[in-house]
A = this chain, B = another copy of it.
Amino acid sequence: MTDNRALVQTFIESLDQRDWNTWRELMSEDVVYEVPQSRERIRGRDRYEQFNREYPGNWNLVAKVIISDEDNGVVWFDWLIDSKSEGDAMAFFEFDNGRIATITDFWPEPFDPPTGREHLTERW
């Protein structure tokens, strides 16, 4: 359990640092990466590394919360462009034999509060 937590933490830190050698060793060769919001899937560590190497912009990722158990993990992180926070995102993981077997990424976008609940909410 502790190992899986460290796996997730190293994943996000080495990705942030573009430390590709450390990063790719955390994953199975046949890792599957999915983005449900766009229904995109990438199969395999080499393609997934290329995807991240080619991802445009001066981006950084800073973990806010990491939770893991034997089978699953999550990191809720802040993502930044040119050191400015762009919002929250989260990646869920499945583990297999001490490596990351699947990653499912979510990128929630800002939205205006629906009307009809102003009597219960405050804004920040």
Contacts and interface: CB of A to CB of B under 8 A. Distances in A.
Contact of A109 (B37, B121, B122): B37
Interface in A53-67: 54, 56, 65, 67
Nearest to A90: B90
Contacts of A111: 37-38, 107, 109
A47 B121 CA distance: 9
Interface string A68-80: 1100111010000
- Helix, strand, loop or mixed for chain A's interface? mixed
Chain A, interface size: which category?
35 or more
A76 B93 CA distance: 12
B123 A88 contact: no
Interface in A8-54: 35-43, 47-48, 50-51, 54
Interface of A: 35-43, 47-48, 50-51, 54, 56, 65, 67-69, 72-74, 76, 87-88, 90, 92, 106-114, 116-117, 120-124
